[in-house]
Copies of this chain bind each other. A is one copy, B any other.
């Protein structure tokens, strides 16, 4: 399939994590080193690691850092990928087809030309410009280095009071990690309820469950300052209303696309600051540049809008698709439906599709239902309660979104809705879905079917 044409091409990859190294590996699988030279730049100490696994390493579920590394630099090099660690790309020159990179240890800079370029620069954590935010004891959890620094702080700190700023999925996962390490945890959240990826009525269920775990949940609270002690270390988090003593602070406020290089080079960015690509993950208007992972925006198939969704599973898909296309094969990324699942201790939280406010924003009118059911037949041991919320478009009855909060067995049920959304099913069609049933696995009507029946009934009544 591939075009050798005698001349060896050079692929340059910026960013040595999920999207970049998946792209490099897939391209290498399709084209050998005599056809394609692959140079990859990574500014950090690690490559191909699971950022999503950091909370579980910090919390002790994953015993050691290296378990989070899917493939080491040496393993990539053994596959003829010229991976340059601790080397930061500082300039991108699409006109001349080259990148400038600096060796972070020696400070040496040089230009490398490319025939094809993959931008996989990821995302950078939002770090609020607050007094005290750079004090020792204040930690982000974006990289393995961040995780190690936090673990070092936890090992050194005598006090057992932790404050997590932010109540998105990183915030709640870090709350669990710190609970597991024996901390008294307070989560300070700017929003009405934790998990702003859910509607507030479902976030409220998360709120109550977190309180039940002994986590102090502070909503509607903007952090104004971090106070430090005589030793210069953080000692409290301050909001307009209160001061929360803290021996350690974790920032889990979210991330933005890391696209400063791309912006400086004039590449097209969307309203969320992410690179814009076509379905082959090629940067719009640039024949020989691809981009994927946390630095791009993706099409939301339900709303038709562009979104920024930093998730390892998308980054891996992007990398595969880019690698296939760079390697002379063909693959596309149609978009996302916005599925996400997370947990805090034994509480499982899942969502896919549109929230109420997403639907309003794009002018969709809808019916909504919320039902309570159980993970197994009610009479089976350990059947646990779950709440399912479902949105369906008025008139058409098309499924728009599902949110689930429950215990064991709740989270991955969202996949039923994710596939139904992708297929454009109506809630009426969903009522007939032939889902797996046996008492240890589900009530005779799966909770998702119970929600679909109620939603379908409301749609019929409203039409």
Encoded as 1 (CB less than 8 Å from any B CB) or 0, chain A from 424 to 449 comes to 01000101111111111110111000
Contact in complex: B339, A434 (CB < 8 Å) = yes
In the complex, are the beta carbons of B339 and A435 less than 8 A apart?
yes
**Does A336 sit at the interface, judged by CB under 8 A?**
yes
> Does A437 lie within 8 Å of B53, measured CB to CB?
no
B419-A436 in contact (CB<8A) = no
A418 on interface, CB distance cutoff 8 Å: yes
* Known contacts A61-B380, A416-B419, A419-B419; A437/B343 CB under 8 A: no
A377 at interface (Cβ–Cβ under 8 A)? yes
Contact for A379 among B68, B314, B343, B348, CB less than 8 A: B68
Q: Which of B18, B350, B435 contacts A418 (CB 8 A)?
A: B435
Q: Could you say which of B62, B314, B436 contacts A412, with CB atoms under 8 Å apart?
A: B436
| CB-defined contacts of A440 to chain B, threshold 8 Å | 56, 343
Question: Within the assembled complex, what's the spacing in Å between the Cα atoms of A8 and B364?
Answer: 44
Q: Which of A336, A380, A437 has the most CB of B within 10 A?
A: A437
**Interface residue range, chain A:** 35 or more
CB atoms of B409 and A412 under 8 A apart: yes
- Known contacts A62-B380, A435-B339, A445-B313, A420 near B419 by CB under 8 Å: yes
Q: When chains A and B are docked, how far (Å) is the Cα of A436 from the Cα of B418?
A: 8
| A245 at the binding interface (Cβ < 8 Å) | no
Number of copies of this kind of chain in the complex: 2
CB neighbours of A379 from chain B (8 A): 50, 53, 56, 62, 67-68
Q: Which of B173, B432, B439 contacts A317 (CB 8 A)?
A: B432
A268 contacts partner chain B, Cβ-Cβ < 8 Å: no
Closest to A443 in B: B313
> Which of A18, A341, A409 neighbours the largest number of chain B CB atoms within 10 Å of its CB?
A341
Assembly CA distance A52 to B441 (angstroms): 12
Docked CA distance A432–B53 (Å): 22
Given contacts A352-B434, A380-B53, whether A18 and B313 have CB atoms under 8 Å apart is no
The answer to whether A434 touches B61, judged by C-beta atoms less than 8 angstroms apart, is no
A131 CB within 8 Å of chain B: no
Task: Report yes or no: A380 in contact with B56, Cβ–Cβ below 8 A.
Answer: yes
Is A262 an interface residue when CB atoms closer than 8 A count as contact? Answer: no
Tell whether, in the assembled complex, residue B416 and residue A416 are in contact, meaning their CB atoms are under 8 Å apart.
Answer: yes
Contact between chains at B418 and A433 (CB < 8 Å): yes
Known contacts A381-B61, A432-B334, A436-B340: does B423 contact A441 (CB below 8 Å)? no
What sequence of 0s and 1s flags, for each residue 342-374 of chain A, a beta carbon within 8 Å of any chain B beta carbon? 110000101010000000000000000000000
Flag whether A37 is at the interface (Cβ < 8 A).
Answer: no
The residue on B at minimum CB distance from A343 is B440
For chain A, residues 66 to 92, give those with C-beta under 8 angstroms from any C-beta of chain B: 67-68
A97 within 8 Å of B (CB atoms): no
A244 proximal to B (CB < 8 A): no
Interface membership of A166, Cβ < 8 A: no
Tell whether A200 is near chain B: CB-to-CB under 8 Å.
Answer: no
Give per-residue flags for A39-71: 1 if the beta carbon is below 8 A from chain B beta carbons, else 0.
000000000001011001000011000011000
Residues of B within 8 A of A334 (CB): 432
Is B56 within 8 A of A439, CB to CB? yes
A415 touches B418 (CB 8 A): no
B436 engages A339 (CB within 8 Å): yes
Q: Quick one: which of A332, A340, A352, A412 has the most chain B CB within 10 A?
A: A412
- Could you tell me if B342 and A438 are in contact, using CB atoms closer than 8 angstroms? yes
Q: Kindly state whether residue A265 has any CB partner on chain B within 8 Å.
A: no
Residues in B whose Cβ lies below 8 Å from that of A414: 436
From B61, B312, B333, B434, A437 is in contact (CB under 8 Å) with: B312
CA distance A93 to B413 in the complex (A): 46
Indicate with 1 or 0, residue by residue over A316-343, a CB within 8 angstroms of chain B CB atoms.
1100100000000000111011111111
Using A377-B50, A377-B53, A444-B312 as known contacts, say yes or no to A338 and B434 having CB atoms under 8 A apart. yes
Residues of B contacting A313 with CB < 8 Å? 434-435, 437, 444-446
Q: Are B380 and A311 in contact (CB under 8 A)?
A: no
List the B side residues contacting A412 at CB < 8 Å: 409, 412-413, 436, 441-442
* Residues of A participating in the B interface, judged by any CB pair closer than 8 Å: 18, 50, 52-53, 56, 61-62, 67-68, 169, 173, 311-314, 316-317, 320, 332-334, 336-343, 348, 350, 352, 377, 379-381, 409, 411-416, 418-420, 422-423, 425, 429, 431-442, 444-446, 453
